[in-house]
Amino acid sequence: MKAIFIAYNQAYNQEIVELLEAQGQRGYTVWEEIGGRGSVDGEPHLGNHAWPTQNHAILSAVDDSLVAGIMDALRKKDEAYKDLGLRAYTWSIEEAL
C-alpha cells in the first residue's frame, strides 16, 4: 500500500476527487484553503491580497495496483494545465489501521 499526497490549485476543486474515483480509488482526506509555492516555477498560492489563489491537498492510502494509473492521470492533468500547479508524491505505508 502507498500513500499519495496531492497538492493542487483550488481551480481543480472536484476534478482531483473525480480523477481518483475514475481510477478506482474511493478513500481520501482533503485539506482546503492551504498556501504554498512550488519549488521550480509558478506563482505562490497564499490566499492573500498579493497572491489570492489557494491550494487544496489530498492524502489517500492506495493499493499498489492503482498507484501507476493515478500518477499517470495526474501527470497528464498537470501537463495539460501547467499554470495551475499540481504536485503529487508517493511513499510506502508500513502499517495501517
Q: Is 71 helix (H, G, I), strand (E, B) or coil?
A: helix
According to DSSP, the residues that pair with 92 across neighbouring strands are 2
User: pLDDT tens digits for 14-32?
Assistant: 999 999 999 999 999 999 9
- All three cell numbers of 44: 505562490
Q: Are 51 and 43 in contact (CB under 8 A)?
A: yes
State which fold the 2-92 domain adopts.
Answer: Alpha-Beta Plaits (3.30.70)
The whole-model pTM stands at 0.90
User: pLDDT tens digits for 31-74?
Assistant: 998 887 776 777 777 777 887 788 899 999 999 999 999 999 99
Q: Are 74 and 19 in contact (CB under 8 A)?
A: yes
The pLDDT score that the predictor gives to residue 49 is 81
